[in-house]
Amino acid sequence: MTTTSERETPATGAPGADAPATVAPEAPPADPAGGRAAQPAPPEPGGPDLRDRLDAGVVAVAGALARARARVAPVVGVISTFGWAVLALVAVAWWSGLVLRWEEAAVVATAGTVALLAAVAFVLGRLRYTVVLDVAARRVVVGDRAVGRLLVRNDSPRPMLPAVMELQVGRGMASFPVPRLRAGAEHEELFAVPTQRRAVIPLGPVRSVRSDPLGLLRRELVWTEPQEIFVHPRTLPLSGSSTGYLHDLEGRVTPDISDSDVSFHALRDYVPGDDRRHIHWKSTARTGQLMVRQFEETRRSRLAVILSTRAEDYADPDEFELAVSVCGSLGLQAIREDGGLAVLVQQGRVRGDHRTRLLDDLTRLELAPARTTLADVARVAAATVSDASVVAVVTGSTVTPTDLRAAAVRLPVDARLVSLRCSPGAKVSRGRVADMQVLTLGELGDLPKALRRMHD
């Protein structure tokens, strides 16, 4: 039970009688277990309030450092590696000259300071350029010429000091000196992009570079966005008898029976609801009862190309380049004939709905070591393009007959199978592994001849 005690008030007339009566504060509640008053617990050190204040302080310091870094970065970024070394040398020389009284060090410090101040004068100033990077064609074929143009115009009302424009081309860097330009003057540079091999070549951005003669400071400004130039693989147009196995006017006949198609199968009795356009009147007149035609269902021809990008399947990069060209030639012919096309590689699928997208994706392909074998890709093809009428497997010369046999048994049963082995310098030859015809090509020009041999 909680009790409250009161302090006695002095009697009337006693000293301190005029003082107001006071009431003692309530005693803390007793502990129910021991009957002893419970004392309030002291604040726990490192409690939530202290942690919140510490977190807020850390966030504030981090924000201040980030703002300071953002303000200092443009200035610090101008100093080159050699400039930092000279700056450190000047600081040590000033300390040695002023503290240790070394006259030689003072001379070095003075000369270094003058050089740094002179370098600042070279990079100061606001640049007002209009820079245009123009390429005649962003998509070219291997060996074709790719020409670009760099135009620099001075948009400021005063002359601009000489500068250097740097343009990244692939992994290299091209430099174009820009002379002193009067207000409104222009300077144009033409350049060529190497296209000896299939590649996606990054072009740009264009940076203006101003630096001092000693290279202490270097100021760069970006003027354009990066672009890409696609160097497509060489392809060969296929037509006539060389592509007879790729294109079937009537499509691929299936065992399914249809009431309306182009491949005639048999006649049967008329059933109410049948289309009267399919009544065979001669048979009807001969038998005396209505007869209608039945057809075998045909499907649209579809080409599936499996292109190996596994480094172990090729003896050298030239074999892979030939394989990419063969794959592109087959795919473009299927697109021209408005047939279905599916291209599969170890990394997934290549877009085959448009010639440009097909060639762009083929241009990005690179050889790489991979655990995914031809048999694994064939298993994916059987699951995703089971309606393919022709499956072409394009590989290098190191693929063994065992590898081809393992791929063939996983491909759709009712599809025609052909393997195109690319081996630069080899003679055109034909062989067979299981149900798959194997054609060996020595160059891209052998492709039409090899396809014609399939029908010999």
Confidence band for 302, pLDDT divided at 50, 70 and 90? confident
Sheet containing strand 186-193, edge to edge, reads 129-135, 146-154, 186-193
Residue, of 419 and 258, whose pLDDT is higher: 419
Is pLDDT above 50 for 219? yes
The CATH number given to 302-453 is 3.40.50.410
- What whole-number distance in Å separates Cα of residue 428 and Cα of residue 177? 52
What's the confidence (pLDDT) of residue 297?
52
* 27 sits in which H/E element: none
| Mean of pLDDT values over 295-301 | 57
To the nearest whole number, what is the mean pLDDT of the chain? 82
What's the confidence (pLDDT) of residue 150?
95
Q: What is the pLDDT of residues 143-185, one digit of tens each?
A: 998 999 999 999 999 998 888 999 999 888 999 999 999 999 9
The tokens describing 16, both together, are 């301190």
| Mean of pLDDT values over 416-424 | 94
Q: Are 156 and 128 in contact (CB under 8 A)?
A: yes
What's the confidence (pLDDT) of residue 382?
92
- What whole-number distance in Å separates Cα of residue 201 and Cα of residue 263? 50
Residue, of 17 and 195, whose pLDDT is higher: 195
Is pLDDT above 50 for 411? yes
Provide the residue ranges of all domains of the chain, joining segments of one domain with +. 75-124, 129-232, 253-299, 302-453
Is pLDDT above 90 for 284? no
The CATH architecture to which 129-232 belongs is: Sandwich (2.60)
Return the closest-CA partner of residue 337 out of 245, 206, 247, 217.
Answer: 247
Task: Name 189's Cβ contacts closer than 8 Å, sequence gap at least 6.
Answer: 149, 150, 152, 165, 176
Q: What is the pLDDT of residues 22-68, one digit of tens each?
A: 444 444 454 444 445 445 555 555 456 777 777 777 888 888 777 76
| Mean of pLDDT values over 188-216 | 92
User: pTM of the full predicted structure?
Assistant: 0.69
